[in-house]
Structure 1
Amino acid sequence: MIYVLLMVAIVLASVGDAALKKSSGFQRWGPATVGVVIYLITFYLLSVVMLELPVGVTYATWSGIGVILTAFVGVLVFNEQLNKKVVISMGVIIAGVVLLNV
């Protein structure tokens, strides 16, 4: 169950990142507000996860998977490009997260 909460926090963080990007540097208050509220929920969930998992494992997993998910959101929503170096780096991040959690 704790890993489900962690995954929800990761997905919410990526949605929050997309909302913040859509805010155009807080020039558009609707998306900015959505992004900030989502991040407040995300941090609450992370604090709950850290009751059971070590802070290092929690943060490394959240940030590592979050980077990858956010990159894919960038590709799908904002038409950003991934190059070979980025894809290889994501593979290394995935390997690190897996090793950290076994």
Structure 2
Amino acid sequence: MTNYLFLAIAIVSEVIATSALKAAEGFTQLVPSIIVAVGYASAFYFLSLTLKTIPVGIAYATWSGVGIVLVSLVGLLFLGQKIDLAGIVGMAMIVGGVLIVNLVSKTGGH
């Protein structure tokens, strides 16, 4: 179960880093730029730990799918971005795909 904890840390780190990119203003703002660098370094480190036990396709599908939804929520809640019905449906399909890959699929060997 530690492998999924590491994957969750990787995802949250990536979401924090991605969310700070706008504030970094092309890496001209020091504090947000540091958050971006540390966030991505942490994300890739913890992703690398998950790959010891989770197949790369499963880990990356989970990382990207959950990351898309979380970054969209950050945009909605904190950055004033809007999500329309088509966006909500699309993200629901992404979440459904991640759940199928992780809970039902036997192709990953997990």
TM surpasses 0.5: yes
Matches within 5 A, 1:1-102: 1-102=2-103
- Give the Å deviation of 1:76: 1.1
Segment of structure 1 superposing worse, 23-32 or 85-94: 23-32
Specify which structure has the higher proportion of helix: 1
SS at match of 1:52: coil
Q: TM-score, normalized by length of structure 2?
A: 0.88
- Give the Å deviation of 1:27: 2.3
- Give the Å deviation of 1:29: 2.5
Q: TM-score, normalized by length of structure 1?
A: 0.95
1:5-57 alpha-carbon deviations (Å, 9 max, x no partner): 11111111111111112112222122012111110011000000000000000
Give the unaligned 5+ runs of structure 1. Answer: none
Runs of at least 4 residues off by over 6 Å: none
Aligned length: 102
Q: CA RMSD in A?
A: 0.9
Give the unaligned 5+ runs of structure 2. Answer: 104-110
